[in-house]
């Protein structure tokens, strides 16, 4: 972060990286993954949409 170019790139980061991930973090429970290891994390990420779809299909009763 010594150069102005690096500071400018770092300031642009929230709009480029964080904004697309915000709905996943806020609405779909992907803020923290509660497992360790690449295989388990991959499983959580792959099965996440199925969990969301199942939640949408169930009645709110």
> Are residues 39 and 28 in contact, defined by beta-carbon separation less than 8 angstroms?
no
Q: Is the pLDDT of residue 2 over 90?
A: no
**Amino acid 32: pLDDT:** 80
Condensed to tens digits (0 to 9), the pLDDT of residues 40-54 reads 988 888 887 777 666
Cβ-contact 7, 31 below 8 angstroms: no
Whole-number average pLDDT of the chain: 77
Cα dihedral across residues 11, 12, 16, 19: positive or negative: positive
Contact in structure between 42 and 34 (CB atoms under 8 Å): no
15-38, pLDDT tens digit by residue?
Answer: 666 776 777 777 777 778 788 999
Q: Tokens representing 29? A: 């429970």
pTM: 0.46
* pLDDT at residue 60, as a whole number: 65
């Amino acid at each position: 972060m010594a150069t102005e170019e690096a500071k400018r790139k770092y300031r642009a980061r929230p709009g480029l990286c964080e904004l697309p991930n915000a709905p996943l973090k806020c609405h779909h429970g992907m803020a923290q993954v509660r497992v360790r290891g690449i295989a388990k994390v991959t499983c959580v990420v792959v099965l996440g949409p199925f969990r969301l779809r199942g939640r949408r299909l169930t009645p709110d009763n």
